[in-house]
Amino acid sequence: MKYDYLVVGSGLFGAVFAHEMKKRGKKCLVIDKREHIGGNIYCEDVDGIRVHKYGAHIFHTSNRQVWDYINQFAEFNHYVNSPIAKYRDELYNLPFNMNTFSKMWGISTPGEAQEIIAAQIADLGIREPQNLEEQALSLVGTDVYQKLIKGYTEKQWGRDCRELPAFIIKRLPLRFIYDNNYFNDRYQGIPVGGYTRIIEKMLEGIEVRLGVTYRAFVEKNGEVADRVIYTGMIDEYYDYKLGVLEYRSVRFETERLEMENYQGNAVVNYTEREVPYTRIIEHKHFEFGRQPFTIISREYSSEWRKGDEPYYPVNNDKNNELFEGYRNLAEKESRVIFGGRLGNYKYYDMDKVIEAALQLVSSL
């Protein structure tokens, strides 16, 4: 075989894998169906503003090894994610913390906030939360749920909050201190120079072919590598033969505005159901940009259909069960290994992707 590994997909998982294997003397070929590298962390430079083309990415981790790892490829700025939630004409701080609660109820102490939440959920009788709604209610009570969670979540996932898994809402911190940092992680920031540059550096000296799907590549070239690392959708790989896994897709309406500052924050969530988009990203604020113009993206969430870009796996019981079926097929493969958010059908953050890729490398 001409290569040790054919890596399908040049996103973070594929790039880390190829980089590490090259270091170990292995020959990799990376292919990607898009015309650019980087998968969904790809950013486009528009007159000095880096536009997160496939949705905002903020790097955060508590894993020191992963932090040191990514810092080989970029320095990180001091950006701390602190989204604003807009419900009608009311503005709240996220994640749910004392700033949110004091604005919501006109109170000032953690004791008062906890008392209100406890009173709101006392009658609901939730013991072990079985779904996202019960989880959210039991954590923050009915007011915060109604104003800041229900509408947003149903827009983002296109499903009733009672049909969604509880773990989704547990991604967000809940604090009874005045702290608007969206993440609890020890390390956080945006890479100076951008995400695309990181992937470029990882792929230095590695052969990359763009604009080619796995299927078309194999039809034309046959098998060229001992093993395949496949980071696309696992159900698509198997031609959906066990059924179609559900994903959410996202569409962005991006606009350049001739003003310095549109919304005063990188991320503003629109939490009521009636506004059709979930959030507006103002890209320059990730890097403290001072350009005289700005670029914003309205984010619309939709159910994934064949041909759309898959973004979020819908990890409810039905889909997880179907995925288990595909995983059983995957385990029988001697040459193909699946990785990344789509290959593993997991709501991975970037640090978890790196962790998984490094783990795979060491297991091989």
Catalytic residue numbers read 171, 175, 248, 279, 299, 347, 349
Output the CA angle 331-349-306, nearest 5 degrees.
Answer: 65
Residue 271 sits in the site that holds ligand UDP (CB under 6 A): yes
Q: In this complex, which beta carbon is closest to ligand UDP, that of residue 46 or of residue 174?
A: 174
Q: Binding marks (x or -) toward ligand UDP, 198..237, rule CB under 6 A?
A: ----------------------------------------
Q: Binding marks (x or -) toward ligand UDP, 94..113, rule CB under 6 A?
A: x-------------------
CB 95, CB 157: distance < 8 Å? no
Q: In what order do the strands lie in the sheet with 279-282?
A: 90-93, 84-87, 267-270, 279-282, 294-303, 247-257, 312-313
CB of 154 to ligand UDP, least distance (A): 9
243 by DSSP, 3-state: which? coil
CB of 320 to ligand UDP, least distance (A): 17
CB 272, CB 89: distance < 8 Å? no
CB of 128 to ligand UDP, least distance (A): 19
Report the relative pairing of strands 3-8 and 225-230 from DSSP bridges: parallel
The CA distance from 144 to 137, in Å, is: 8
Residue 188 sits in the site that holds ligand UDP (CB under 6 A): no
CB of 202 to ligand UDP, least distance (A): 23
Residue of 82, 97, 99, 153 that binds ligand UDP (CB under 6 A):
153
How many residues are given for the chain?
Answer: 364
Residue of 169, 199, 208, 281 that binds ligand UDP (CB under 6 A):
169
The CA distance from 358 to 338, in Å, is: 14
Burial class (CB in 10 A: 0-12, 13-18, 19+), 290: exposed
Residue of 5, 54, 73, 152 that binds ligand UDP (CB under 6 A):
152
Residue 85 sits in the site that holds ligand UDP (CB under 6 A): yes
> Which residues of this chain interact with ligand UDP, rule CB under 6 A?
85, 94, 148-149, 152-153, 156, 168-169, 171-172, 269, 271
